[in-house]
């Protein structure tokens, strides 16, 4: 695969083609690799043929075709070249080192000690190539040997505890949220390290753990506990600090809306559109603080009123009045929306979704590769 010329990569592409070697698997690390591929980097994904490569190659939905990459694998591996090497083998490790000597960025996701055994730890890589940026993802940091699994980290960092209905069980997010949060942190760290290298000529090492990315992302829910002693519990889609924000309502047409009213002025407009302007003057609801105290009463009134009107028409009226509200859509409906079209990669191979949304006009980096599809030409290219 030949890296695009600068004039082909778009104004938000990396300033020069860089070589990324991906030694990571599953979602977080590979998502970073695809992000860099979309920005014009050449990404070589080294996979172990003895174990079948990246485990997500085997994570197929029932009925998926087996003669192409799985949808899961394709979600974060577009635009890469797959090189099949078993790093436990001395000859394959030597071949990998020849590639790694020329890498700008190396993505890894190992348990502590594993990289040293395979000759891909940061110290070894930087001895081979002082300019390389070694970017590592772990579950709990470099000194903890627990494997990092998104669902487990969601459980241990408060996300499951907060998510779900008040009378229901803790609930995992339906995407690997912590993996994606960690990927975003690592993208930022890599770009900063590359900028630093452009000034100093030196590479470096950046590390992100799933645990730390999750804790950092607790945001207002975390500071609600730190500042006010409020340990967030399950509230469905509602917000602990704002009412009616996250309130789900259903109209007589069967459509569901999520209200996201964040200001007193927006609330007054909502009341006017519902022909209940007096609610905005009611002392129980006039301010957000009052609405938080009386959320149950207000929620009941809003649900009852909207159950008697057309939610589709209300949604359009709220949009016109700039009151935040959204129709509850399926994934299929969300991806079919005209605004989503620019983010969907429908080139050859399994379709996918962009990682670099700010560079949505950049060329499609290409399909996700079959295991080992580029081994021979890459090894020939890096033979010296």
SS3 label, residue 133: strand
Q: What is the CATH number of the domain that holds 267?
A: 3.30.1540.10
- Judge whether 250 lies within some domain: no
Instruction: Compute how many other C-beta atoms are within 10 angstroms of the C-beta atom of residue 352.
Output: 23
Per-residue model confidence (pLDDT) at position 347:
82
Of 304, 327, 350, the one marking the end of a domain is 327
For residue 191 the two structure tokens come to 């770009």
Q: Are residues 321 and 346 in the same domain?
A: no
- CA 133 – CA 118 distance, rounded (Å): 18
Question: Nearest to residue 313, comparing CAs of 245, 253, 249?
Answer: 253
Of 327, 349, 372, the one marking the end of a domain is 327
Per-residue model confidence (pLDDT) at position 17:
83
- Judge whether 231 lies within some domain: no
> Would you place residue 384 in the very low, low, confident or very high pLDDT band (cuts 50, 70, 90)?
confident
- Judge whether 225 lies within some domain: no
pLDDT tens-place string over residues 121-134: 999 999 999 999 99
Q: Are residues 181 and 305 in the same domain?
A: no
Note down the domain range covering 260: 256-327
Measured CA to CA in angstroms, residue 188 lies from 41, 141, 252, 264, 356 at distances of 15, 18, 46, 36, 12
Q: Which of 2-6, 44-48, 192-196, 254-258 bottoms out in mean pLDDT, i.e. has the lowest? A: 2-6
pLDDT tens-place string over residues 48-103: 999 999 999 999 998 888 889 999 999 999 999 999 999 999 999 999 999 999 99
Q: Where are the alpha helices (DSSP H) in the chain?
A: 28-38, 71-74, 90-100, 114-118, 122-128, 150-156, 159-162, 177-200, 210-216, 219-228, 264-273, 288-293, 295-306, 311-320, 331-336, 375-381
Q: Are residues 33 and 150 in the same domain?
A: yes
The residue behind tokens 């040293």 is 116
Q: Are residues 155 and 292 in the same domain?
A: no
pLDDT tens-place string over residues 9-43: 555 667 678 999 999 999 999 999 999 999 999 99
- CA 323 – CA 177 distance, rounded (Å): 28
Q: Are residues 204 and 352 in the same domain?
A: yes
- Judge whether 239 lies within some domain: no
Q: Is the peptide bond before 23 cis (omega within 30 degrees of 0)?
A: no
- Judge whether 366 lies within some domain: yes
Q: Are residues 280 and 137 in the same domain?
A: no
Helices and strands (H and E) in the chain: how many: 16, 11
Q: What percent of the chain has pLDDT over 90?
A: 84
- Judge whether 56 lies within some domain: yes
The domain total for the chain is 2
- CA 335 – CA 75 distance, rounded (Å): 14
Among candidate residues 179, 212, 264, 337, the one labeled active-site is: 179
Region of 75 please: left (phi>0), alpha (psi -120 to 50) or beta: alpha
pLDDT tens-place string over residues 237-294: 999 999 999 999 999 999 999 999 999 999 999 999 999 999 999 999 999 999 999 9
Q: Are residues 312 and 359 in the same domain?
A: no
Q: Are residues 158 and 202 in the same domain?
A: yes
Q: Are residues 318 and 353 in the same domain?
A: no
Per-residue model confidence (pLDDT) at position 1:
42
> Would you place residue 8 in the very low, low, confident or very high pLDDT band (cuts 50, 70, 90)?
low
pLDDT tens-place string over residues 338-359: 889 999 999 888 999 999 988 8
Of 327, 357, 373, the one marking the end of a domain is 327
Q: Are residues 76 and 171 in the same domain?
A: yes
Q: Are residues 117 and 175 in the same domain?
A: yes
Per-residue model confidence (pLDDT) at position 6:
47
Q: Please say if 92 is a catalytic residue.
A: no
> Would you place residue 113 in the very low, low, confident or very high pLDDT band (cuts 50, 70, 90)?
confident
For residue 202 the two structure tokens come to 């030196």
DSSP 8-state class, residue 260: E
> Would you place residue 192 in the very low, low, confident or very high pLDDT band (cuts 50, 70, 90)?
very high
Q: Are residues 41 and 136 in the same domain?
A: yes
Per-residue model confidence (pLDDT) at position 310:
94
Predicted confidence (pLDDT) at residue 7 exceeds the cutoff of 80: no
- CA 212 – CA 141 distance, rounded (Å): 8
Per-residue model confidence (pLDDT) at position 222:
94
- Judge whether 188 lies within some domain: yes
Predicted confidence (pLDDT) at residue 143 exceeds the cutoff of 90: no
- Judge whether 107 lies within some domain: yes
């Amino acid at each position: 695969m030949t890296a695009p010329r600068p004039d082909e990569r778009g104004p938000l592409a990396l300033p020069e083609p860089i070589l990324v070697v991906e030694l990571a698997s599953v979602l977080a690390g590979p998502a970073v690799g695809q992000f860099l591929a979309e920005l014009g980097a050449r990404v070589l994904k080294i996979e172990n043929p003895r174990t079948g490569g990246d485990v997500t190659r085997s994570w197929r939905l029932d009925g998926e075709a087996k003669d192409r990459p799985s949808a899961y694998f394709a979600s974060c591996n577009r635009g890469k070249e797959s090189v099949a090497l078993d790093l436990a083998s001395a000859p394959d490790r030597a071949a990998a080192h020849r590639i790694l000597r020329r890498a700008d960025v190396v993505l890894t996701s190992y348990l502590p000690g594993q990289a040293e055994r395979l000759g891909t730890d940061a110290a070894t890589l930087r001895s081979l190539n002082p300019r390389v940026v070694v970017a590592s993802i772990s579950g709990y940091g470099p000194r903890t040997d627990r494997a990092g699994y998104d669902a487990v980290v969601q459980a241990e960092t408060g996300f499951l505890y907060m998510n779900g209905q008040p009378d229901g069980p803790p609930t995992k997010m339906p995407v690997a949220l912590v993996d994606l949060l960690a990927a975003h942190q690592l993208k930022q760290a890599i770009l900063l390290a590359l900028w630093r290298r452009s000034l100093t000529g030196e590479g470096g090492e950046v590390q992100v753990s799933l645990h730390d990315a999750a804790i950092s992302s607790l945001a207002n829910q975390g500071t609600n506990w730190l500042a006010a002693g409020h340990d967030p519990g399950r509230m469905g889609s509602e917000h602990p600090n704002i009412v009616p924000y996250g309130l789900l309502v259903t109209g007589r047409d069967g459509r569901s809306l999520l209200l996201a009213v964040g200001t007193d002025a927006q609330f007054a407009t909502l009341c006017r559109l519902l022909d209940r302007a007096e609610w905005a003057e009611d002392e129980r609801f006039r301010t957000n603080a009052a609405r938080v105290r009386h959320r149950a009463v207000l929620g009941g009134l809003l649900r009852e009123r909207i159950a008697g009107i057309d939610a589709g028409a209300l949604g359009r009226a709220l949009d016109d009045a700039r009151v935040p509200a959204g129709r509850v859509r399926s994934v299929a409906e969300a991806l079919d929306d005209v605004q989503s079209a620019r983010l969907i990669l429908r080139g050859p191979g399994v379709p996918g979704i962009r990682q670099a949304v700010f560079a949505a006009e950049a060329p499609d980096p290409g399909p996700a590769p079959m295991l080992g599809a580029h081994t021979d030409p890459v090894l020939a290219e890096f033979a010296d």
